[in-house]
Copies of this chain bind each other. A is one copy, B any other.
């Protein structure tokens, strides 16, 4: 039998130094935003007992979870397809005695059987705000989402906000699942003609609302005004009032300049477990949403604690790819120094103590050497002497090297 080739499973990948640096830098920036807003980081395990994890998963995420039998115990476990249910579990159990509001954040890999674009291992970061009601909680989470998108440095970022109430009101009036699926699909495509056909099965009072819903997207103020003008039942009116209050709270809390929001009341895709305001974040260069979030007031109760909650998760891989597509340079360039000759070890030590990357090397850095060392650029210092134009000489010190590294970083080699 021939040896099978060296390969990776579909949907997982390695990140070489430059790609890894982009992802680590994005994660660090986003987590820094979360922490400034008072969200404390927790770490949860890569896999859990399948039945425990599934309590907190919506229909789609359950189908996406990879399960296997844990050999030690014989228990069925699942790789986490989402971190939110883990946070819900922690809040309901180990933090059961902590009063809200509780602010938590996380960062880590999740694994999905059929994620967006066929990918399976996704780097995710997110926040959860527990026991904060609307509109204040929703407004805060939206403001953190906007700050996170801004921290990515991506152009044309946009938050699109909605509320599940109008579409659920329409869908509740549909006679069966088949009709619901057709209405949902037409809403997602913003297909007026298709919706008119699908909505034919709805009661007379609801049909015009369904037909209006397909057009209820666009700039926040005007779209909300159009929505409010329709003859919705009382609970949808209350939801729209609440959405208006969230937008006002967002304008108060968000970083300046306050980003423009858009509204989309028809889109329900990917918002399985939300119960109120929901939102998605987009950025130039990313084909799909890079961030999804909203209110999920029923999730934590599945783990035994009645607590309202809202939050979002950001797809760091999608952000990184968007940065590349948008032509954004690597957020950090890594210049270093290769030191050679007598006293090289001591000089390298001195440089490292100043935070400068330094390697003791035998020869001048080549392009291949740079890649091996993970530097974007490097200079070989084989003497510790600085010669000035006027021929005065003095020993090179760490300040000189710091200036050199700065020069290298500002003039990186083309790659």
A255 within 8 A of B: yes
Q: Could you tell me the distance between the alpha carbons of A253 and B45 in the complex, rounded to whole angstroms?
A: 38
Q: Are A368 and B98 touching (Cβ within 8 A)?
A: yes
A111 within 8 A of B: yes
When each residue 311-338 of chain A gets 1 if its CB lies under 8 Å from chain B and 0 otherwise, what string results? Answer: 0000000000000000000000010100
Within 8 A of B (CB), among A13-47: 13-17, 19-21, 23-24, 35-47
Q: Are B17 and A371 touching (Cβ within 8 A)?
A: no
Which residues in B have their C-beta under 8 angstroms from that of A345? 252-253
Which of A47, A255, A356 counts the most chain B CB atoms within 10 A? A47
Which residues in B have their C-beta under 8 angstroms from that of A348? 253
Which residues in B have their C-beta under 8 angstroms from that of A19? 43
Q: Could you tell me the distance between the alpha carbons of A100 and B70 in the complex, rounded to whole angstroms?
A: 40
A140 within 8 A of B: yes
Q: Are A121 and B46 touching (Cβ within 8 A)?
A: yes
Q: Are B371 and A95 touching (Cβ within 8 A)?
A: yes
A401 within 8 A of B: no
A296 within 8 A of B: no
Within 8 A of B (CB), among A75-101: 75, 77, 79, 86, 89-90, 92-95, 97-101
Which residues in B have their C-beta under 8 angstroms from that of A12? 45-48
Taking A14-B45, A72-B114, A95-B372 as given, write out 17 further A-B residue pairs in contact, using a Cβ cutoff of 8 Å, ordered by the A residue number: A4-B49, A4-B52, A6-B303, A7-B52, A9-B73, A9-B77, A12-B48, A15-B44, A17-B104, A46-B46, A46-B121, A68-B69, A99-B369, A101-B372, A102-B373, A103-B374, A255-B349
5 residue pairs, one from A and one from B, having the closest CB atoms: A40-B374, A68-B68, A17-B40, A12-B45, A102-B372
